[in-house]
Amino acid sequence: MAKKNQTLGEFIIENQTEFKYSSGELSRLINSIRLAAKVVNHEVNKAGLVDIIGAAGETNIQGEDQQKLDVYANDKFIQTLTNRNIVCGIGSEENDDFIAINSSDDKNQNKYVVLIDPLDGSSNIDVNVSVGTIFSIYRRVTPVGTPVTIDDFLQKGDQQVAAGYVIYGTSTMLVYTTGHGVNGFTLNPAIGTFYLSHPNMQFPEVGRIYSINEGNYAHFPQGVKDYIKYCQEEKEDRPYTSRYIGSLVSDFHRNLIKGGIYIYPQTSKAPNGKLRLLYECNPMAYLAEQANGLATDGFQRIMDIKPTELHQRVPIFCGSRKMVEKAKEFMKNSQEK
Ligand code: P6P
């Protein structure tokens, strides 16, 4: 049972028996993410003060300019996950291929792989808008003690053992699930401790906020155009409010608290949408379902999609249950016309 003002450390210990595998491993996993989150938070909060922002002059596999903080955050999460000797592999938005950890050491009894978007929304850094880290944790499927393979990463979202995000906003929060609901912890930067501030987070069944980049309207599928018009109709419960921060973690977090739907659909220019299945959509889908919400690609459950590539993109509609269901109706109806 979550108690307000409990520290993250106390919460993990009190609830580690819920983790369906050996308890100590979850603690070490979440603790390594907690440490990296505090280190990255420190740098994000001073980004405006030192010349750490701005492109690092390189581009990542996505062809996007790598902001120095992207690189820094990626390095910190990989370093802490590696040092804790708990994972056998890491997949990151910033790395073309997955990273095998201690794979040559046959004593490597590590059982988990982590997929991570180390600094999502990083294009917002130099305009002082909140950004986030997203993580997804699986148990490996290949034999323990052997080198990790791509199969350990290409698992359906419903095989996740934990997932969550860190949001570096007006306050820094760690929000995560291990399959027993979603809990939010707020960092007290003065003492570097995360406190349980949002126990048992749940999407309101219906919200009044829709989040989508309407600049792409001309390229949206008809079902999305129809849903946007539905949101804008003058009715008893509408029009809804349009809010789009351009940072998935921030839009998702606001919708989780207030109710709402976030949509990044396929377009004529991007037939699979923009967001990545393994380290953006699956972890957010796990959180959404654990918080009484839904996450689909417009037609099927995100967590039922069998991944085929480390960096594959999928469309995503996620948030309050009734809103995602309504959007799915519009997508289905437009297909049948
Ligand atoms: P657009 C940030 O790059 C991101 O991955 C998400 O955090 C955000 O919701 C989306 O892309 C913004 O994309 O095309 O609307 O700028």
- State the CATH number of the domain containing residue 38: 3.30.540.10
Average confidence (pLDDT) over 127-135: 94
107 CA to centre of ligand 1 in angstroms? 41
Of all protein residues, the one whose alpha carbon is nearest to atom 16 of ligand 1 is 246
The verdict on 213 and 291 lying in the same domain is: yes
Q: Is 57 left (phi over 0), alpha (psi -120 to 50) or beta?
A: left
12 CA to centre of ligand 1 in angstroms? 32
The verdict on 191 and 236 lying in the same domain is: no
57 CA to centre of ligand 1 in angstroms? 20
| Structural domain includes residue 81 | yes
Which residue from 122, 111, 155 is spatially nearest to 136, judged by alpha carbons? 155
The verdict on 82 and 156 lying in the same domain is: yes
Give residue ranges with CB within 6 A of ligand 1.
120-121, 123, 213, 246-248, 251, 274-275
For 252-299, write each residue's pLDDT tens digit.
999 999 999 999 999 988 999 999 999 999 999 999 999 999 999 999
Range of the domain at 166: 8-198
The number of folded domains in the chain is: 2
Name the burial class of residue 60, with classes exposed (0-12), middle (13-18) and buried (19+) by CB atoms within 10 angstroms of its CB. buried
The pTM score is 0.94
171 CA to centre of ligand 1 in angstroms? 21
Return the C-alpha torsion angle 280, 312, 244, 266, nearest 10.
-140
| Structural domain includes residue 332 | yes
Of all protein residues, the one whose alpha carbon is nearest to atom 2 of ligand 1 is 121
For 158-180, write each residue's pLDDT tens digit.
999 999 999 999 999 999 999 99
Give the start-end residues of each E strand in 288-335: 293-296, 316-320
Is pLDDT of 65 > 70?
A: no
| Structural domain includes residue 53 | yes
Categorize the per-residue pLDDT at 84 as very low, low, confident or very high, splitting at 50, 70 and 90. Answer: confident
DSSP 280: I
Give, for 336, the enclosing helix (H) or strand (E): helix 321-336
246 CA to centre of ligand 1 in angstroms? 5
Categorize the per-residue pLDDT at 247 as very low, low, confident or very high, splitting at 50, 70 and 90. Answer: very high
Given this model, what pLDDT does residue 16 score? 78
| Structural domain includes residue 204 | no
247 CA to centre of ligand 1 in angstroms? 6
Q: Which of the listed residues 65, 93, 120 should we mutate to test ligand 1's pocket, taking the one with most ligand atoms within 8 A of CB?
A: 120
In contact, 132 and 247? CB cutoff 8 Å: yes
Domain final residue, candidates 139, 165, 198: 198
Q: Which atom of ligand 1 is nearest to the CA of 247?
A: 7
